[in-house]
Structure formats: C-alpha cells, structure tokens
Amino acid sequence: MQQIIFFFIRNRNFLLFAVLFTISVALTIQTHNYHNNKFISSANYITGGIYTFRNNITDYFSLRTENEQLLQENVMLRKRLEQFQETVVFDKLDTTVLPAKYTYFTARVINNNYSKTKNQLTLDKGENDSIKIDLGVISSKGLVGIVSDVSENYSTVQSILNTKSRINAKHKNSGHFGSLKWNTENPNVVQLVDIPRLAPLANGDTIVTGGRSTIFPEGILVGTVKDFKLDMDDNYYYVNIDLFNDMTSLEHVYLIKNYDAAEILELEKGVEDEQ
C-alpha cells in the first residue's frame, strides 16, 4: 500500500499531465464529430459577451462596404420584384400571408475564423431568437454554413471552410449535382466533387445549392467554376470553385429555417428504419 502511495507521490506531475492531456485530446476528438460540442463552445455567455463587445467596436470599420453590399442587394431584389409585378396582376391587395416553406432571420457575425482547417463562426442570435441547430446560414452574396450549436443568446456556425462540411450543390445550367468540400488551401476557393463526367462544365459556370437537403432551398448562389479536372478513377469531376462570398469579411448574415424539415426528416427516418 505504502509503495503505491509513494509511486503516486513520486510521479504526481506525470500523472497530472497524463490526466489533463487525455481530457484535452478527448475534447478535441469530440469536436471532430458533428455538432456535439456543447461543453466547450464560443456560444456561451462569457465568450459571446466578449466577442459582442469587440464587434461593437470593430463594426464601424466596415460600415462603408456593408452599406454598399446592402445597396447592391436592394437593387437586385428590386429588379426581381419588378419582373414579378409585370407578370402577375394584383387585382386586390390581401393582407393574409400565404404559408411559406422557408423563413429568414438576420444575425451579426461576432467571431469569424478562416485560417484553421475546421473553421467556425459565432453569431449573436440564439435559442431566444428561435435559432435552432441545422439552420442554413447565407450572406447577401451566397452560402456561409450551417448552425452547429446554440446557446440562449448565441450560436456557432460550421462554415463551408471546414473539412467536416459536406453541402449539396449543383451546376446551375445542367442540374448535375455533387457535394461541396474544402481542401484547406485557400479561404476563397472550395471544391465540388462527385459531379458526373458527362456534365457539360465550362470555366465561369455558376454553382448553386442543390435543394436536396432540408437545410438550404434550391438556388442559393455558391460561386463560379475556376477550373476542373477528372478525379483518379476518371468518372467524376473535381471542380475548384471561386466563392461569391468573401469568407474573410462577413458581417451580417441570414439564417434560413425550413418549416417542413422536421416532417421530411421523420419520413426519411421511417423509410430507413423499415430497411
């Protein structure tokens, strides 16, 4: 017995180190799985508060570009509205809102990183603003990521610049679809894989979201084809995509909620269970 106690006393620093190191590695591995980083996350009261404080200051530096972006978006939306008014004749104004499939929220990015291999963003909206896990996040220019963790007032987003992300996207002209990945090399270039060989790709073609997931509606802008090559077994293309978004300077984003998501997922789960 005495021997054991002596052993512990003699090696106490090593044992302490071993325990703490194991805890940290366990925490690391846990975050490598998809959204279960409940314990250590920047969406908590203290870190969220500090990031909000920082952003209240740094926001002023980008007001001009933010305003320009908003103006551009307004112009685009006005043009769309104009087309709509030409084709549809309103015979009477109705104040009832039609049941829509998607609804949108706005949020501010209070922390953004893009220099690591698994990047996350922190937003200043949380459960209290009816934000939930798995909502899609876009900016006025295009795709940003998916909500991975929510606290009362803050949420974290798994950015598309994250080696764990797989988002369904398609070639706008032909409709061939694949998944978006990131090879960690450039924060403005992502990769689209599994596009079949017979797709008529050309440099500069537009890539949009595919609408095959319950997260993003179809046709959210992603980027343009930068270059493409056949992958090893010659059946699929490996496409580099220039993002429309500048992922390094995000300020305001939109969150998309799909009202039918729960229903669709439940139905699909039922089918899987039967098999």
Partner 1 sequence: MSNNDIFVNIVRFIVLVFLQVLVLNNVNIAGYVNPYLYIFFIIMYPLDGNKGLLIFLSFLLGLSIDVFEDSGGVHAAACSFIAYIRPVVLKYSFGVSYEYNSVKIKKADPMERLTYISSLVLMHHFVMFSLEIFSINHIGLLFTSTLFSGIFTIVVMACTMILFNKKSA
> Based on CB atoms, which residue is closest to partner 1, 28 or 65?
28
* Count of Cβ atoms closer than 10 Å to residue 55 Cβ: 18
Q: C-beta of 25: minimal distance to partner 1 in Å? A: 6
- Written as one letter, the residue type at 138 is I
Q: C-beta of 111: minimal distance to partner 1 in Å? A: 8
The strand pair at 167-171 and 206-209 is best described as antiparallel
Q: C-beta of 29: minimal distance to partner 1 in Å? A: 7
> Based on CB atoms, which residue is closest to partner 1, 149 or 205?
149
Q: Tell me what percent of the chain is helix, strand and coil, each rounded to the nearest 5.
A: 35, 30, 35
Please give the C-alpha separations between residue 132 and each of 4, 39, 166, in angstroms, as whole numbers.
Answer: 51, 17, 19
| Interaction site with partner 1 (CB under 8 A) | 12-14, 16-17, 20-21, 23-32, 37, 40-42, 44, 47, 50-51, 54, 111, 113-118, 120, 122, 156, 163, 184, 186-187, 248
**Please, what is the angle between helix 2-10 and helix 12-32, to 10°?**
70
Q: Look up residue 131 and give its two tokens.
A: 């934000």
> Based on CB atoms, which residue is closest to partner 1, 69 or 159?
159
Q: C-beta of 72: minimal distance to partner 1 in Å? A: 26
Please state, in angstroms and rounded to a whole number, the distance separating the CA atoms of residues 190 and 75.
28
- Written as one letter, the residue type at 73 is E
> Based on CB atoms, which residue is closest to partner 1, 25 or 267?
25
> Based on CB atoms, which residue is closest to partner 1, 49 or 211?
49
> Based on CB atoms, which residue is closest to partner 1, 44 or 258?
44
* Count of Cβ atoms closer than 10 Å to residue 219 Cβ: 13
40 three-state secondary structure: coil
Q: C-beta of 179: minimal distance to partner 1 in Å? A: 17
- DSSP secondary structure letters along 84-111: HHHHS--SS---SPP--SEEEEEEEEEE
> Based on CB atoms, which residue is closest to partner 1, 7 or 102?
7
Q: C-beta of 132: minimal distance to partner 1 in Å? A: 18
* Exposure of 216 in the CB half-sphere (CA atoms within 13 A): 26
Please return the burial class of 206, using the count of CB atoms within 10 Å of its CB with bins 0-12, 13-18 and 19+: middle
Q: C-beta of 14: minimal distance to partner 1 in Å? A: 7
